[in-house]
Amino acid sequence: MSANKSFPPVYTDPAQQASENLRQVIPLVNKHRTPINPVNYAVWYEYVSGDNQKLNNEIDNLLNNNQLVSSKITQSLYEKYVLQGMPERLEKANSGLSLVVDNTLNNINRVESSTNDSIADLTNSQSTLDNYSDIDELKVTVKDILNNTQTLLSNSHTLKQNLEQSSQEIEQLKQELAAVKEIAQTDALTGLLNRGALDKELSTLCQQAIRKAAILLFDLDHFKQVNDTFGHIIGDKILQFFSSILKSEVGDEHIAARFGGEEMVLILFDASQQEATEFANTIRTKLVESKLQQTKDGQQIGSISVSVGISFFQIGDTPTSLIDRADQALYKSKENGRNQVHVN
């Protein structure tokens, strides 16, 4: 499995698969006369893995036209399909925020300057009042005071309007930044948290060490066989279906993430061993009892089962040790016939 579509991209291929991809990438990079730098390597790695269909389609079109895939092209493909425009969106949001701040400061400076001028005029008017000699001179001075006061009121009103507009723009930018952050943390296929976001959640759990938590590691049984039989598109649909079960069961209280490939992870907070086991069995049963079929021809896919391994957070744990124990329990579920739940 190649990278979860996130920013930055996270790769979860096992060592053997990564080595095989490397073996295929090197000749392609050399054939197209490009240096083996991180960008070129990432693009061709995505290509040989076959998981980034839009990138593959664009490269295949170039190859079918006997066109070399230059470094300039790979840079464009990298930004478009690997990073998926995240840096540009972040830069746009940051630039927008800077512009709002600059405009607000300029408005404040203008009002401050105008206010200082009005204060100076009012001070002069006060001096005139202290020394006036006739009624006509007094009328002129009072008129000047009224005009300056009106200017102050007008400037204050303008500043208020500008600040309200700036507040609205900042709120919109905050929403855009939140959306970018959510996209950067979300697995594009399943809608669950991606591997990078999961790693952060596990690190926080281990560092704070203030909550009980169960780690449920799910692995769809015989998934490679499903892909080989029905194709990767159907395989993706099954991953999406299983993820929808996880999301419906987890809600907002717990955390659901894609660990890599057909493996998913749930973090259940404040769950006992019995509660975590029952939770895992509920999800396992829902999946295996679902009668899946292809939408085009109605061909039955049959029952899809999942094996589950569970570990529990202990003081001193690291994200690696937590997942390792869950993986050991998952291995027992697989070894004992699959479609089971084991606790380590």
Handedness of CA 120, 123, 125, 131 (dihedral sign): negative
* Active-site hit among 46, 58, 262, 263: 262
The residue assigned the tokens 């027992």 is 332
DSSP code of residue 65? T
Residue 198: closest CA among 339, 62, 323: 323
The question of whether 262 is a catalytic residue gets the answer: yes
263 sits in which H/E element: strand 263-269
The phi and psi torsions of 85 (rounded to 5 degrees) equal 75, 10
296 close to 183: Cβ distance less than 8 angstroms: no
Strand 306-312 relative to strand 341-343: parallel, antiparallel, unpaired?
Answer: parallel
Question: Could you tell me the CA-to-CA distances from 56 to 41, 51, 69 in Å, in that order?
Answer: 14, 8, 12
CA distance 283 to 106: 57
4 sits in which H/E element: strand 3-4
Give 218's strand partners.
Answer: 264, 308
The phi and psi torsions of 12 (rounded to 5 degrees) equal -125, 15
Enumerate residues 6+ apart whose C-beta is below 8 A from 344: 309, 310, 311, 325, 326, 328, 329, 332
Residue 237: closest CA among 220, 254, 255: 220
The residues carrying an active-site annotation are 262
